[in-house]
Amino acid sequence: MTHPRILIVLTSHDQLGDTGDKTGFWLEEFAAPYYVFRDAGAEVTLASVAGGQPPVDPKSSLPEWQTDETRRFEADADAQRALAQTTPLADIDAGGFDAIFFPGGHGPMWDFPGNEILAHLIEAFDEEAKPIGAVCHGPAALVTAKKADGTPLVSGKRVTGFTNGEEDAVGLSSVVPFLLEDRLRELGATIENGEDFTVNIVTDGNLVTGQNPQSSAAGAAGILALINAV
């Protein structure tokens, strides 16, 4: 496939529970996959739950969390313009894309689960065996989606995501609405975690999941590998 069409879906939620702090998507988890896809010649479309400018977790813009990819984004006026004009999720048709990818950040923990529009979109990709990728808290997008037989999409799948240990390490286990690792396990997934805050990617069929921010670029590469294998 010469120019695969990849959809990146971002959170629109900016409140970190009842803490009074802001959240959103984690900048590196967007920037790294975005450039992995773009540099491979993919056509990338950005969407978010509500459309428009999705919230960036302010902590992810701090100097200590910057990477080559986030610095590249900060100097990329075209990418910033595209991010400010994301398409509302309700206006997206799965038929226009070859793969879908969900960056994390804590925002997705609130507005991805229970979102029926999002669940149906994921189900449409899965029914055609199109690659579905998610990193860190991005797999929260998967918890509402179901297979054609009505069972959870992740049931029987090998997956990873932000671990209980990592959530404890950032001090937010009591803030998030649920622990992602626990929820995925409750839905019948087989959890395959690596060491906290190290690169860990799990591919099972058309599903690619990454454990944490460190896994963002590798997760995007996993999506490209599935696309190129078709």
| pLDDT tens-digit readout, 9-68 | 999 999 999 999 999 999 999 999 999 999 999 999 999 999 999 999 999 999 999 999
Instruction: Write out pLDDT tens, residues 65-77.
Output: 999 999 999 999 9
| CA–CA dist 141, 117 (Å, integer) | 11
> Does pTM top 0.95 for this prediction?
yes
Q: Which two tokens stand for residue 92?
A: 């997206």
pLDDT at 2 over 80: no
pLDDT at 200 over 90: yes
Mean pLDDT to the nearest integer, 112-133: 98
Q: How confident is the model at residue 1 (pLDDT cuts 50, 70, 90)?
A: low
For residue 88, list its beta bridge partners. Answer: 48
pLDDT at 105 over 90: yes
| CA–CA dist 130, 153 (Å, integer) | 14
Q: How confident is the model at residue 86 (pLDDT cuts 50, 70, 90)?
A: very high
3-class DSSP state of 8: strand
For β-strands 201-204 and 207-210, DSSP reports them as: antiparallel
**pLDDT (0 to 100) of residue 108:** 98
3-class DSSP state of 47: strand
Q: How confident is the model at residue 112 (pLDDT cuts 50, 70, 90)?
A: very high
**pLDDT (0 to 100) of residue 70:** 97
DSSP 8-state symbol, 138 = G
Instruction: Write out pLDDT tens, residues 212-221.
Output: 999 999 999 9
Contacts 24+ apart (CB under 8 A), 150-157: 151/188, 152/187, 152/188, 152/189, 153/122, 153/123, 153/126, 154/184, 154/187, 154/188, 154/189, 154/207, 155/187, 155/188, 155/189, 156/188, 156/189, 156/190, 157/189, 157/190, 157/204, 157/205, 157/207
| CA–CA dist 183, 61 (Å, integer) | 29
Instruction: Write out pLDDT tens, residues 143-197.
Output: 999 999 999 999 999 999 999 999 999 999 999 999 999 999 999 999 999 999 9
| CA–CA dist 188, 209 (Å, integer) | 15
Q: What are phi and psi of 194, to 5 degrees?
A: -100, -170
